[in-house]
Structure 1
Amino acid sequence: MPSERITFLVEKFFSNRCTEDEKYELMQWANVATEDELAELLYHSWKNHEANLEMPEEMSQRILASIFHKEESIEEENPTWEEEETPSRFWQMGYRMAASIAVIVAVGLFAWFQYNTVHQRNENRLVQVKEFEKNDVLPGTNKAILTFDDGSKVILDTSKNGNIAKQGATNILKPEKGQLVYQATETPNARPMYNTITTPKGGQYQIVLSDGTKVWMNAASSLRFPMVFVGKERKVEMTGEIYFEVAKNTKMPFKVSTNGQEVEVLGTHFNVMAYENEKSIKTTLVEGSVKVSKDNHSTILQPGQQSKVGFSNGIFRTINDVSLEDELAWKEGYFQFNNTSLDMIMRQIERWYDVDVQYIGKVPDEHFTGKLPRNTNLSNVLKILSMSEIQFKIEGKKIIITP
């Protein structure tokens, strides 16, 4: 027979008066108790408290149906039983009731442990959230550096709006924050002069080239281009990620060169993502058509298609029915994830928030789906990601991740 202490704890459990420590003590005893001890204790608890037990109706109906079914089976197997309750019948009834009580107690303890687990996880997450907010990081902004042909530089995010410079036959204007416009007053006869715009981590910028082509630059990107296009083609060089809306000119194809890949168009809209810490160069076509070439391979993309060229192996692939919304979310001011791996998400966060990511142990194999504005603080992004089993910590300009 269980001790008075255990009997006392079971009484308190059924009357919902157990403390957390008492519930734990009861659970510890149940782990080592014999079946006979459980049956005897739980049977008497049932008799004392069956009218006060609370459980979902569906579950109680299943338990009752199971008990009555077993009773019918036992009575059929023992036709010599009398109506009065014999000791043998009493204990068989007791075991059946004990089985029911065991289910109820198991459900109660399971719910309690589930509650404690979720409660502890929520408390841990609240601690994380407070840490995020205390060590918060602001989102990226419109900032870039313009490097002229002679090597001189202008920090565009701190320069005043208006006329930035005049080089040769080209005026360089900054009509508003985050935008640069090249206006060619005449076609130069001399060699073309090149400019380079570079966005740092945590920066973005827009440019209108001298031919009217519009350019959106993501963080950690660069574009080298002539101030005025001359000759038989319009050629630019890029790194990082850039979206192009190319002004149509059938006599001068527009060519984008990056890491040995070349994209050739006459006039169309497309996105090129060529970060060196990604696995491949991705070229995504929005409208028109483009020719993508690398080494001895080439392909013609149609709207909604994407080419992938591996950095390490040079493997050329064409993907149909790409989500343009996902690929261009950065340009529209969003993070958009569609079953996206954690490491891919964190690379985007590194570039946009100008932080470094450090993993403690193995990189968690987690994938996320969702949409967030890019103009939000880093804490708000990590609050969402921390709803998983992953722990995040901000230390200065570093994010530390543990499974």
Structure 2
Amino acid sequence: MEKNAANLLKKYLSGQCTPEEKAIVEDWYLQLPFQKNAPTTEQIEASHEEVLGRLNPRPKTRSIGYLKHIAIAASILLCVGLGLVLFNKKIEPVPAVAINKLENVLPGRNKATLTLADGSVIDLDQALTGDLSKQNGIVIRKTEDGQLEYVIQDKPDAISGTNTITTPRGGRYQVSLPDGTKVWLNAASSLTYPYPFAKNERSVMLQGEAYFEVAKDKQRPFKVTANQQMVEVLGTHFNINAYNDEPLQKTTLLEGAVKVAVGGNEVKLKPGEQAKFDPANTQLLVDKNIDPDQYVAWKNEVFAFNNEDLKSIMRQISRWYDIDVVYKGKITTEKYFGEIPRSANLLEVFKILELNRVHVQISGKTMTITGN
């Protein structure tokens, strides 16, 4: 039931519900049991079960504007996704001027550049579908669905150079490397790799964040250098978040096995585990108590927050919407839970965040968040 509820709320948030489904969600929300004081664990669980039990078709018509729909659906999604009810929160509307500017800030999309070995740069967003270049028997091609792939036509004699694919803020891209490895690049990231790979290893360099599905090759381990850490695998699925502005560098394993090395330290991960490296004190730890799906949600077009503070959330949002964020005053340390579609425009995102009193001002591409 909980999974069905979450799916319905996601449809509601993206504007894809039927009139009957909208009525279900709105009726559900209006009956949420709010109270003045923070709930106990027992009260949260009881409220959770009561809310889920109300997801029965009872069509009603309510004249609720689209922006209010978003705020309502978001509050329910936050509640259902992790069993948390928001209590005693006064919703303060975003000023009209800010609303107009926020509406115009659209989410990111497929956008990247490819830098070839000779230094020439191809704008992949503007490039036509088909062959882009041929290098040492390898054809670089843009597919109809906007991805980059390498096709080996003639057996290359040796490594003849490197390519770098780079996404800007507000961009993303998927590339299939010469060995068949698939890589999804998040916003503000870059991947540098040789063509073809060497005979004894496959080595790439990452800045930012990427999800890898590595093609199996027992003779050639796949190595990713990301800032100070080295991740080595034979064939597996994993995510690396190594942005320079993040306090921790995180490698999350979904399938297979990986080895993460930093300096003289080394750890091995099993599926569902995460290596965390703190550059400030060069500490490398393994966290076995994570939800790996949260760390690859971006690849599936979702922001997923699990006990994250506002500044952590804003780092993700600033990269995806290509905005700068500054802070004034005392910023809330409250934690956020739930999911927001990455297809939403910036106004929709902040109609959700304002439920926890996020005050926003916009000037050009700079967003100022003012604390209480």
- TM-score under structure 2 normalisation? 0.73
Higher helix share: 1
Match of 1:132 among 60, 75, 99: 99
Distance 1:177 1:398, change over 3 A: farther
Q: Is the CA contact 1:182–1:227 (under 8 Å) kept in the aligned structure 2?
A: no
Map of 2:264 onto structure 1? 296
Map of 1:337 onto structure 2? 305
| Structure 1 residue 390, shift from structure 2 partner | 2.6
Map of 2:285 onto structure 1? 317
Q: Is the CA contact 1:170–1:185 (under 8 Å) kept in the aligned structure 2?
A: yes
| Structure 1 residue 219, shift from structure 2 partner | 0.2
Q: Is the CA contact 2:107–2:321 (under 8 Å) kept in the aligned structure 1?
A: yes
Cα distance in 2 for partners of 1:167, 1:263 equals 28
Question: Does residue 211 of structure 1 match 2:173?
Answer: no
Match of 2:361 among 379, 393, 403: 393
Q: Is the CA contact 2:98–2:360 (under 8 Å) kept in the aligned structure 1?
A: no
Q: Is the CA contact 1:132–1:382 (under 8 Å) kept in the aligned structure 2?
A: no
Q: Is the CA contact 1:135–1:396 (under 8 Å) kept in the aligned structure 2?
A: no
Q: Is the CA contact 2:233–2:258 (under 8 Å) kept in the aligned structure 1?
A: yes
Counterpart amino acid of residue 147 in structure 1? T
Cα distance in 2 for partners of 1:214, 1:135 equals 34
Map of 1:19 onto structure 2? none
Match of 2:254 among 286, 290, 304: 286
Structure 1, 180-189 or 247-256: larger mean CA deviation:
180-189
- The unaligned stretches of length 5 or more in structure 1 are 1-117
Q: Is the CA contact 2:223–2:232 (under 8 Å) kept in the aligned structure 1?
A: yes
Q: Is the CA contact 2:101–2:362 (under 8 Å) kept in the aligned structure 1?
A: no
Cα distance in 2 for partners of 1:373, 1:130 equals 24
Q: Is the CA contact 2:151–2:178 (under 8 Å) kept in the aligned structure 1?
A: yes
Cα distance in 2 for partners of 1:366, 1:390 equals 11
Cα distance in 1 for partners of 2:353, 2:158 equals 55
Map of 2:138 onto structure 1? 170
Cα distance in 2 for partners of 1:139, 1:332 equals 14
Counterpart amino acid of residue 158 in structure 2? A
Q: Classify the secondary structure of the residue corresponding to 1:195.
A: strand
Counterpart amino acid of residue 305 in structure 1? E
| Identical amino acids, percent of aligned pairs | 47
Cα distance in 2 for partners of 1:192, 1:286 equals 33
- The unaligned stretches of length 5 or more in structure 2 are 1-87
| Structure 1 residue 146, shift from structure 2 partner | 0.2
Greater RCO, CA 8 A, separation 6+: 2
Question: Does residue 158 of structure 1 match 2:113?
Answer: no
Cα distance in 2 for partners of 1:320, 1:128 equals 43
- TM-score under structure 1 normalisation? 0.68
| Structure 1 residue 311, shift from structure 2 partner | 1.8
Map of 2:190 onto structure 1? 222
Cα distance in 1 for partners of 2:306, 2:158 equals 50
Question: Does residue 142 of structure 1 match 2:142?
Answer: no
- C-alpha deviations, 1:276-301, integer Å up to 9, x for none? 00012100000110011010010110
Number of residue pairs aligned between Structure 1 and Structure 2: 283
| Structure 1 residue 129, shift from structure 2 partner | 6.1
Q: Is the CA contact 1:187–1:228 (under 8 Å) kept in the aligned structure 2?
A: no
Q: Is the CA contact 1:129–1:383 (under 8 Å) kept in the aligned structure 2?
A: no
Q: Classify the secondary structure of the residue corresponding to 2:297.
A: coil
Counterpart amino acid of residue 286 in structure 1? L
